[in-house]
Each structure stands twice: as structure tokens, then as C-alpha cells.
Amino acid sequence: MIALLHDVKASRYTRTVTPHFIRKIYAILILLLALAALPARSQQAPRTEHSIEQQFLAVPDPRHAEQHMKTLTSEPHMAGTPGDRKTAEYVARKFREWGFETEIVEYKVWMNYPAEVSVEAITSAGVIMRGPTRERVDGDPFQDDPRVVMPFSAYSPSADVEAEVVYANYGRPEDFDRLKELGIDLHGKIILCRYGENFRGVKVFMAQEAGAAGVIIYSDPIDDGYFRGDVYPIGPWRPDTGVQRGTIEFGFEHPGDPTTPGWPSTPNARRVDPDSSPDVPKIPATPISYHDASPILQALGGPESPREWQGALPFTYHLGPGPVKVKLHLKQDYAYRNIWDVIARAPGSVWPDELVIAGAHRDAWVYGAVDPISGSTAMLEAARGIGHLLQTGWRPKRTLIFASWDAEEQGLIGSTEWVEQHEKELESAAAYFNVDTGAVGPNFRASATPSLRDFLREIAKAVPDPKGGTLYEAWKTSVRRENELQAKKDLPEVGTLGSGSDFTSFLDHSGVPATDVRSSGNYGVYHSVFDNFEWYKKFGDTQFVYTQEVARVYGLQMLRMGNADVLPYDYEDYGKEIGTYLDAAERLAAEHLGDKAPSFAPARAASNRFAQAGAAIKNAAHALSHIPEGYDLNASVARAPSHVHNLNNARSAGNLERLNKTLMATERALLLPAGLPRRPWFRHAIYAPADLKGYSASTIPGVNEAIQRNDAATTAEQLNELTKALNRAAAVLESYKPEQK
């Protein structure tokens, strides 16, 4: 180095450069490059899982989150539209910038857009309402965009109907039963019912089964309007002209493209006739505002509605039918339309065939600031954090996939088609993590398969809460614990997965363990034009702090599951949870079936066997991991997944691989070979969306739904199928036998 400096100094005076000097310059450059590389190597080598997580946690940022949301909500982007394609390209560009292998996957699916919608209410005095009234409030900067789609129901048929009206409360099965008890004839009538309590498609299905001619659904102010508080633009609740758009596809039978039930809607896929698809309603339906529903309800005659059916409009609700009639004109534009999923991968370095998948949908009915862009924003910030790690040379042990789904609003289409296309690959999926309406307030909520509940809780302990302390502490104090097992342990409540978002296909069809996270608050503009950036900045997560909290939970799930040496499932608690489902079902069977109720003893024995096998494999994992006796494996794996100290030992590495394959196969062993009765696409023995509710979960659905239909024979048959599934899952766990010295 001294000789080089001497030559450099000499060259300043001689203005000559010798070959010897050039060789020295070349040598010193190589030396400097080597020295520059040393800190990176020395810094990377000792990095712990904790330090990696701290690097990740430092990345999500409110400024970036706000920019994502501003971009993704800048124009309406309903599935299949040019605005939707732009959002796909934006998300794909970001994934690529952050170092992920990224592709836009196209499907061609059967969907409708509205061409003409009109609703007129007529009495003997003439027309009392001509709608739909345009969604409008004073001062909203987004409501007048000509690309805003008029309120409509996806998968409604076209129709011209004129009929008397009957008010049916929430349109639940029990509401239709009550109308029947009261002697109200529904044949040929238009059913007027309010949003809430169940999926809108169930309301239409029940009306169709009752022989109705059509359905109108409105949002009553008692549920999300002025009864709850100030309406937009003064407060967060639905103004009188706000309308909830939404799909009425019978997704509780089969989600996804109704013309490809059970296989993917690739461009050249075989199709069933849309008119014969059981997933598409046969009677027309459309949504309206409470501004337009009010004159119809006020003009209804007939008996007073049951008092618990009374909403918040300032008059007494009656049931009808008549004397008011409604003339409903719907013209739908149906076609096969392109949708675009965006799939980003970070290949695994140890187990590349094992997948950890995170997804959020991107399409919206209009702007969708809360639903779904707050979730997409959280996913993007989580991906940016993991991308930062990738750029430092870090690699996950399993392959990480981030998925931006399309056409969720029409019926979980983008995720369902992808799952149906990748069923074989998903046999090696460790988990699916979902976020939808990501952050609209300070109240963290989560749902999960029982095997991942403690995993989620441990992650919450590592995430700071904007109000101070940890998310775990804030979560524990903010939610009432209704689950008996969770309350007994004084744990934050983790709910049960039903449907209504993109985890459905992963869990209920393919048997992939799943979670769904969100941060909730006062939100009254669901699926309306007012769910836009203006509303979000006033009443949502105004500083984007809860968006970051959700992003950190979401990303830590990916990091810990992607790098876990032992997959952090708890099948012991899972088995115990199933035992509580059996207790409830046995009581229900005694009530509905009396002495025809079958014995639950074999199923109970199988659930106990499953729980015991879960405890045994937990002990086996303890032994493999050299964890001291009494140490909580689930907590330790969740906190610091790379705790296995003997992976250099070939036998231990082989045991570890067999253990993880066993753990992954267990949830899939709970799938029913023939699926559920009457809806075989849903194959999970323990969970499905409730048959005639749609969003909420039905536990041990084959058994419970047979009981509710008073079908003793099917109840016995489904108990037998459940018993076989539980014994299958227990046998999978019991099959793990570590190789000994």
C-alpha cells in the first residue's frame, strides 16, 4: 500500500503511468473489494431469527402504506375492468422491485355488469318512488366519477317483474319460517329484506325456494346508518343514499366461476351452461338505499311486523303484501371476462417444495379503501419488509408466496380458480394467511384453524401496539372471550374460520391450515361509493398505524412459518376443540332427533385419540429439538423457529423432515373423500361455511346440518364419516416414528 501511494505521488509529477503502476492499482482494487465484502459476510453469519425479525419489523411505514392506498384507490377497479388491470400491474411492479419472482395469472370467468337497473314503487295514488337514487353526499370528491358502477347484484338474472311486496326482515331461514307461520303468501311476490345477519346470497336462495318473483335488499339505518351515529361525511356511518353492492352467487354451494365448478377457469377450460349452474340464482335481485326503501316500507299494509323486525326508519314496519307494488327492471351484461391474480414467489433454500402462502384480494366494487385495499396495503408492506431481507441475501427455508387475488367480490373467484389449478402443489402447503378488510380501526381480531391459534398469539407478543405495549396485551383486553377452552386459559379469543374471504378454498377444499387477521372499527360504508380514500383518511386508519400493525403480524407469520424447523401446529388443542363441537352437536341431536339420535361415542373416542396423538407428536418434537422438559414447544417455535441445534446430524435432519411432512399431512387427512352432502366441493370434516348463513362457520358441518334437517339417517352416516376422518388424522400423527441411534 505504501509503495502504491509512492507511485501515485510520483505519477502526479511525471504525468506517466507505468504497467507496474497499473498492476498495483488492479491489485489494490481487488483487495478493497474483498475487504468491503467481509463486513457483509461477518454480519450475515451470526444473524439470529430475532435479529431478522427486528429488521423486518422496522420496514413497514405509514408513508409507504398511504401511497399504496392512494394509488390503488385512485379510480374504480371492479374485477375485469381496465382499472382492475392497472392495480394488477402496480402490485406486480412492486413485487418485482422487492426481489420476488412475479407473474400475472389470467383466468376467464363468467361475470355480469349491469346495463340497466330501475326500481319503481307504485300505489293507487301513482308512483311513489323511482330509483335507484344516485349515491351522493355533500363534498365527497370521488362520487361523481363516471366509471362508478351503478348498484347491482352480481349473478342476478335479467328480468322484468311487477309484483306486490312482502317485508322479510333479514331474509334468514327463520324469518321465512315466521312468515309461513303468519300465513303470508310469498308466491309471485317481491321480497324486501334488509342486509345483515347472513350472506345476501342466502336471502335470495330462501326467496327462490319460497316461490318469490324477485328480491330487493336494503341497508336499514338501525344496522349501519344514523341509528349507529353520525353518517358520512360528518361521521363514519352509511348515509341515506349509500348502497351495498355485492354478489348473490350461491357460494355456500360452490365458490368461484359457476361455469367451472371444481376445475380452473383457464382460457380454454370446459364449461357448464351458466343457465343450468346450481350456483346462479334463478330470480332477479338488486340492492337499494334506505332512501329508496323508505317509501316502499311506509306504504306496506298487512299486519305489523314482529317488533324485533322493526328497523330505525320513523314509522311502523308492516309485512304486506300490498297495497304497494314494485316494478323491477334489470338488464344484465353477461360475458366471459378476464381477471388477473398476481403471484409473487421467494424460493425456499431448504424445503423449496413446501409453500407458505399469504393472500389479499385487490378488486373492489368501486374504490374499496377499506374493503379490500387496507388489506392489500398491509400485504404490500409485509412483502416490502420481506423483500428488504431478500436484498440482504437472506433466504427463507420454505418457498414464500404472496398472492393478490382478483374477483373476490364476485364469489372468491381468483383464489378459488388458483387453488383448483394448484391442488397437487398445495399438498405441500404449510399454511395460508389471509387479510381482507385489513385495518379500519384499533380493534385487532383474528380467526384461525385451532392448530395455529397459539402461533398467532405468540406473534402478537412480538408486535408493538400503537397505543403502547404489545399487540397481545391490547388484543387480550379488547375482546370478550366466548370460546370455553380459550376463556379457561385466559387467552385472547381467536375465532373460527367460516367463509366470505379467500381462505375458504384453501381450508375447506384443500385442507391447508389458515388464519385471517384484521383491525376493526366503525365502518358503515361497506361496498358503497363512499368507501374511498376521503372516507378512510377521515374515519379509518387515519395515520396508517394499524395498517402497519396488521402488516407486521402478517409478515411475521410468513417469516416464522417459512423458517420454522418444526412446523408450529398444535393438534392436541385441535382435538380438544373438536370434543366441544361434539358435545354441542350431541345436545342438538337430542333436541331434534330424540330417541333416533345416533351414538356419539365412536366420534368422541376418535377426537380423544386425535388429541392424544397431538400431545405425543408434540413430545416427539421436544425430543428432536433438544428442548428442556416442560418448555412450551408451540411458544418456542413461534418465538424463535430455528431452535433445532442438531441439523448437521443426518439422522436428525431426516427425522425433522419426516416430522414436518407428518404435521402437514394431518389437516389434509381431515378432508372427506366424498365431500359434504349436497355440496361436495366443501370437503373439510370440521369446518365449512354455514349452509344457510354463508359467512359464519359451521363446525362438524356434515353432522350438524343433518341434525338441523331432522335427518337421523344422514346424521348417523356423517358421524361415521367424521369418526373415520378423525381416526385418519390421528393415524397420520401416530405414524411418525423417529429413527433411533
Which residues are part of the catalytic machinery? 408
Q: Is 398 helix (H, G, I), strand (E, B) or coil?
A: strand
In DSSP terms, which residues pair with 113 in a beta bridge?
333
Angle between helices 601-625 and 712-734 (to 10 degrees): 20
Quick check: 359 and 403 in contact, CB under 8 A?
yes
Vertex 17: Cα angle to 16 and 21 (nearest 5): 140
Judging by DSSP bridges, how do beta strands 325-346 and 159-167 pair with one another? antiparallel
How would DSSP label each residue in 310-361? --SSSS--B----S-EEEEEEEEEEEEEEEEEEEEEE--SSEEEEEEEEEEE
Q: Which residue has the cell 374477483?
A: 407
CB-based contact 111:337 (threshold 8 Å) = yes
Choose among 422, 460, 686, 434: nearest CA to 553.
460
349 and 396 Cβ atoms separated by less than 8 Å: yes
**Reduced to 3 states, what is the DSSP secondary structure of residue 161?**
strand
Give the closest residue to 369 by CA, choosing from 514, 477, 173, 529: 529
Among residues 309, 201, 305, which one has the least CA distance to residue 250? 201
Contact (CB, 8 A) for 279 and 254? yes
- For residues 632 and 628, give the distance between their C-alpha atoms in angstroms, rounded to a whole number: 9
Beta strands in 667-725 (DSSP E): 687-689, 697-699
User: Are 200 and 156 a contacting pair, CB within 8 Å?
Assistant: no
Grid cell 358502477 — which residue? 149
**Nine cell digits for residue 290:** 334506505
Grid cell locating 721: 364419516
Contacts of 304 by beta carbon, 8 Å cutoff, 6+ apart: 316, 317, 318, 319
* C-alpha to C-alpha distance for 550 and 556, rounded to whole angstroms: 10
Q: Nearest 5°: phi and psi at 332?
A: -105, 145
553/556 Cα distance (integer angstroms): 5
H or E segment to which residue 108 belongs = strand 101-123
Cell of 160: 322484468
**Cell of residue 432, nine digits:** 395460508
Q: Are 280 and 249 in contact (CB under 8 A)?
A: yes
Cα 257 to Cα 175, 410, 504, 737, 739: the distances in Å are 30, 9, 14, 43, 47
In whole angstroms, what is the distance from residue 33 CA to residue 38 CA?
9
Nearest to 457 by CA among 498, 402, 515: 515
The answer to whether residues 446 and 516 touch, using CB atoms and an 8 Å cutoff, is yes
Q: Which of 515, 483, 493 is nearest to 502 (CA)?
A: 515
Helix (H) or strand (E) holding 598: none
What is the rounded (10 degree) CA torsion for 306, 307, 308, 311? 110
Cell of 81: 375492468
